[in-house]
């Protein structure tokens, strides 16, 4: 995706992004948008400025991504299926390996949870997950695991995403590292407060330090 300068700072990004993006496009955040006529959302100078500050991409790169995005997806947003199709051309893994994890990544990219990944969500997610600093990438990784998006992880959420990670990584002898046992182990290590729930801070704190687990659970290298 061209030259991205420096790393990205995600601090307070989703909130800032949501506010900014929805102010600008005037789109409601609920799924009622589905029924609305799909209009091509033009990029204003302010959009470009905002996306530039958040992604580190140049205005030309942003315009070029915008063109590509709308060329492939004229209605301006991706549902789960369209996301798979669009996202997989940007990754090195084969579609067979990527498909399961794609659905979890979709949820992480869909910051407002309206069931679609809009252009701004896509560009931010993609830029951060491929070029952002480790903390920012782990922030997105957490969202992949938080299946019910309630802000913390439980053991039953970790296992299915871990299985998708096994597929992504091409791990074949899963009997050597059964996902349910790895999930249990991982949970024990993460859950510092020992209440059966893992917060985003606990998740990021642990994975910032532990490179072995990080290589297994983080889809954003």
Residue closer to Ca ion by CB (options 148, 185) is: 148
Contact between 159 and Ca ion (CB under 5 A)? no
Q: Binder to Ca ion among 47, 61, 112, 159 (CB under 5 A)?
A: 112
Stretch near Ca ion under the rule CB under 5 A, chosen from 65-73, 81-89, 149-157, 160-168: 149-157
- Is 29 a binder of Ca ion (CB under 5 A)? no
Nearer to Ca ion, 10 or 97 (CB): 10
Q: Which is nearer to Ca ion, 97 or 217 (CB)?
A: 217
- Contact between 143 and Ca ion by CB under 5 A: the answer reads no
Q: Which of 25, 55, 73, 114 binds Ca ion (CB under 5 A)?
A: 114
- Does position 146 interact with Ca ion (CB under 5 A)? The reply is yes
Choose among 110, 116, 126, 118: nearest CA to 55: 126
SS3 199: strand
193 contributes a contact to Ca ion by CB under 5 A: no
Residues 73-102 that bind Ca ion (CB under 5 A): none
- Residue selected from 23, 32, 150, 215 as contacting Ca ion according to rule CB under 5 A: 150
Work out the angle at residue 25's Cα, subtended by the Cα atoms of residues 71 and 21, and round it to the nearest 5 degrees.
95
* Secondary structure, 3-state, 84-150: HHHHHCCCCCCHHHHHHHHHHHHHHHCCCCCCCEEHHHHHHHHHHHHHCCHHHHHHHHHHHHCCCCC
Please give the span between the terminal C-alpha atoms of the chain, in angstroms, as a whole number.
16
Can you give the three-state secondary structure of 38-90, one letter per residue? CCCCCCCHHHHHHHHHHHCCCHHHHHHHHHHHHHHCCCCEECHHHHHHHHHCC
Query: Residue 97 or 164: which CB sits closer to Ca ion?
Result: 164
CB of 147 to Ca ion, least distance (A): 6
Interface contacts to Ca ion, rule CB under 5 A: 110, 112, 114, 116, 146, 148, 150
């Amino acid at each position: 995706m061209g030259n991205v300068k420096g790393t990205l700072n995600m601090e307070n990004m989703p909130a800032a992004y949501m506010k900014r993006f929805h102010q600008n496009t005037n789109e409601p955040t609920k799924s009622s948008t589905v029924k609305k006529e799909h209009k091509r959302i033009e990029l204003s100078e302010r959009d470009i400025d905002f996306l530039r500050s958040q992604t580190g991409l140049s205005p030309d790169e942003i315009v070029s991504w915008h063109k590509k995005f709308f060329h492939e997806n004229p209605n301006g947003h991706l549902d789960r299926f369209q996301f798979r199709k669009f996202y997989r051309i940007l990754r090195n893994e084969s579609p067979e390996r990527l498909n399961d994890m794609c659905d979890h990544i979709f949820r992480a990219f869909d910051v407002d949870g309206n069931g679609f990944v809009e252009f701004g969500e896509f560009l931010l997610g993609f830029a951060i997950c491929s070029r952002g600093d480790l903390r920012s990438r782990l922030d997105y990784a957490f969202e992949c695991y938080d299946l019910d998006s309630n802000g913390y992880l439980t053991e039953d959420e970790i296992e299915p995403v871990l299985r998708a990670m096994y597929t992504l990584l091409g791990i074949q002898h899963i009997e050597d590292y059964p996902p349910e046992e790895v999930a249990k182990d991982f949970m024990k290590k993460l859950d510092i407060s020992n209440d059966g729930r893992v917060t985003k801070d606990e998740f990021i704190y642990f994975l910032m330090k532990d490179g072995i687990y990080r290589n297994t659970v983080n889809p954003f290298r």
